[in-house]
A = this chain, B = another copy of it.
Amino acid sequence: MQFFYHSNLNADNFILSSEESKHCAKALRKSAGSYIFVTDGRGTLIKGELLSVYVEACTVQVVERMENYGLRERTLHLGVAPTKNPNRMEWLVEKCVEIGIEQISFVRCAHSERPHLDLNRMERLAVSAMKQSNTTWLPKMEAIDFQQFIKNYGDSDADKLIAWCDDKNNQQLINYPLKSDKIILLVGPEGDFSKEEIAQCSQCQFTEIKLGNRRLRTETAALYGCVILAGKFLN
């Protein structure tokens, strides 16, 4: 079974998008009268009956409505410096959705590459990964400058973590004792954060943590952090 996606599930009946209709009618060969599950990526999951099935448009009648489906007690917000190669960020988005991340900020740092980030494409990838992994939450995504990131989230009461390479920093993420129900994890670019950025994070009570003892690519480091946090705190 795979979920369908529809951005607005407020009405009691609705027509699936052309892409979803095609998938429903052609790939899955559904017929009128059968039931499907549809999510809006914001925690709503409906069980719906297919009233009519055409390749261009399938009409769905809501039979059962579930809100906050699969809502987790804790949330994870990943801030990550975008890589030069957009494939690596797209790959990261797919994996983050599978594992379950509430928010992703692509943070342009002083030492960041500045690639063109196609957020629309990222959204489409996220929807596809969400459907495949039968989840009902899409991460919020944004592209943001480091200064704005600090302005927006620096005084959050979340557990704020920054992963960077410093010999004095010996706190492994897996041993970090969580204090709140929100986590912000910030992972820097290949050239690491600038001294000023680290000082700013320090002022905002970010805790410095390590992601193992290896030199990891940016996207590997980000996923490493998300998996450790998901495994420890988010199940």
Contacts and interface: CB of A to CB of B under 8 A. Distances in A.
Interface in A126-142: 132-135
A195 interface: no
Given A91-B91, A212-B99, A232 B133 contact: no
A66 to B, nearest CB: 17
Contacts of A230: 212, 224
A63 to B, nearest CB: 23
Contacts of A100: 214
B212 A231 contact: yes
Contact of A216 (B99, B220, B224, B235): B99
Nearest to A210: B235
A231 to B, nearest CB: 4
Nearest to A129: B217
Indicate the size class of the contact surface on chain A.
20 to 34
A5 to B, nearest CB: 16
Contacts of A174: 231-232
A98 interface: yes
Contacts of A232: 174
Interface string A105-134: 000000000000000000000000000111
Contacts of A91: 91
B99 A220 contact: yes
A220 B232 CA distance: 17
A145 B30 CA distance: 36
A215 interface: yes
A228 B173 CA distance: 11
Contacts of A216: 98-99, 133
A203 interface: no
A228 B223 CA distance: 11
A98 B172 contact: no
A84 B130 CA distance: 20
Interface string A87-105: 0000100010011100000
Q: Which are the 3 A-B pairs with shortest beta-carbon distances?
A: A227-B227, A174-B231, A133-B215
Interface of A: 91, 95, 98-100, 132-135, 172-174, 212-217, 220, 223-224, 227-228, 230-232, 234-235
